[in-house]
């Protein structure tokens, strides 16, 4: 999985979001409580602009909150403009070029990966709201990359924000296992120092098994734990996911 695949995902999923009908903008988004389709599109469009600012070195932008929502009748055009700007910024730079991020200095390629998975999840949110039951499934390889991005970026970040790993979860382990091809397996270990993970098969306190996409959606709280097979202490998985809750 690399830069070309991330760029393809940004283009594909971004186009799906941009095609949202004005008539659907007021539809509630069940997987993002208190959001409508318009709120979701505003969020993603603002995140695109924020990412673009980081990529091009525009230090005047502090966060995605710097981009207010446009009027409803201008929303999809505003979103398309933000998507075009992001694709241009990413496509005209070497993926290995250094770029600031919300987790320190990384690369342009890091932003491509982040925006690809941002769009994957929020495109699913939007389809679930507007056309429930018809959501596109993302392939196993791309979903596995999303799982690893969640483990790399969001799990440690939000564990730290929530005060770290609770003492009773020190030494707790979680095994993630996909059953589609290519098979992916990850061992997650918790300690006083936070969360570490490795690609390996090993018995853990709890194992979550399912398709790579179902596991990805479960980690992002888009589907309940019951959407995947759970073997062992489900309470460990539930508590860990409660500590890492991102919209």
pLDDT of residue 65: 82
Q: Are strands 98-101 and 104-107 parallel, antiparallel or unpaired?
A: antiparallel
Q: Is the peptide bond before 182 cis (omega within 30 degrees of 0)?
A: yes
For position 135, what pLDDT does the model report? 81
In what side-by-side order are the strands of the sheet with 185-191? Answer: 194-198, 185-191, 173-178, 206-210, 229-232
Nearest to 10 by CA among 96, 79, 105: 79
| Strand 173-178 to 206-210 pairing | parallel
pTM of the predicted model, to two decimals? 0.95
pLDDT digits (tens, 9 = 90+) for 23-81: 999 999 999 999 999 999 999 999 999 999 999 999 888 888 889 999 999 999 999 99
Distance CA 186, CA 184 (A): 7
State in Å, rounded, how far the first CA of the chain is from the last one: 24
Domains 3-130 and 141-243 share a fold: no
pLDDT on residue 133: 83
Return the sign of the alpha-carbon dihedral for residues 165, 168, 170, 172: negative
Residue 178 near residue 206 (C-beta atoms within 8 A): no
pLDDT (0 to 100) of residue 136: 84
Cβ atoms 123, 133 nearer than 8 A = no
Q: Which CATH class is domain 3-130?
A: mainly alpha
Look at residue 112 in the predicted model and tell me its pLDDT: 99
Residue reference for tokens 């296992």: 177
**Separation of alpha carbons 11 and 8, rounded Å:** 5
DSSP assignment, residue 21? -
User: What's the CATH architecture for 141-243?
Assistant: 2-Layer Sandwich (3.30)
Q: How is the chain split into domains, by residue range? A: 3-130, 141-243
Contact 17, 123 (CB under 8 A): yes
Q: What is the mean pLDDT of each run of 10 residues along the chain (247 residues)?
A: 97 97 97 96 98 94 87 96 99 98 97 98 97 88 97 94 93 96 93 96 96 97 96 97 87
Q: Which residues pair with 187 in a beta bridge?
A: 175, 198
């Amino acid at each position: 999985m690399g830069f070309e695949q991330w760029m393809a995902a940004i283009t594909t999923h971004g186009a799906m979001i941009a095609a949202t009908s004005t008539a659907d903008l007021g539809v509630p988004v069940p997987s993002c409580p208190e959001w409508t389709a318009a709120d979701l599109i505003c969020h993603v469009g603002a995140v695109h602009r924020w990412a673009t600012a980081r990529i091009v070195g525009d230090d005047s932008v502090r966060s995605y909150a710097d981009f207010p929502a446009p009027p409803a009748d201008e929303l999809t055009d505003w979103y398309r403009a933000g998507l075009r700007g992001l694709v241009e910024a990413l496509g005209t730079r070497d993926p290995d070029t250094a770029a600031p991020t919300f987790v320190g200095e990384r690369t342009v390629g890091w932003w491509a990966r982040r925006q690809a998975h941002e769009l994957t999840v929020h495109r699913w949110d939007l389809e679930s709201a507007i056309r429930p039951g018809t959501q596109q499934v993302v392939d196993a390889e791309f979903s596995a990359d999303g799982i690893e991005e969640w483990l790399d970026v969001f799990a440690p970040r939000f564990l730290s924000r929530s005060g770290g790993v609770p003492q009773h979860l020190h030494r707790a382990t979680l095994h993630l296992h996909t059953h589609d091809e290519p098979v992916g397996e990850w061992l997650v270990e918790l300690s006083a120092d936070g969360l570490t993970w490795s690609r390996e098969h090993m018995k853990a306190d709890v194992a979550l098994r399912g398709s790579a996409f179902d596991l990805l959606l479960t980690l992002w709280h888009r589907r309940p734990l019951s959407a995947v097979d759970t073997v062992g202490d489900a309470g460990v998985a539930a508590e860990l996911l409660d500590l890492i809750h991102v919209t």
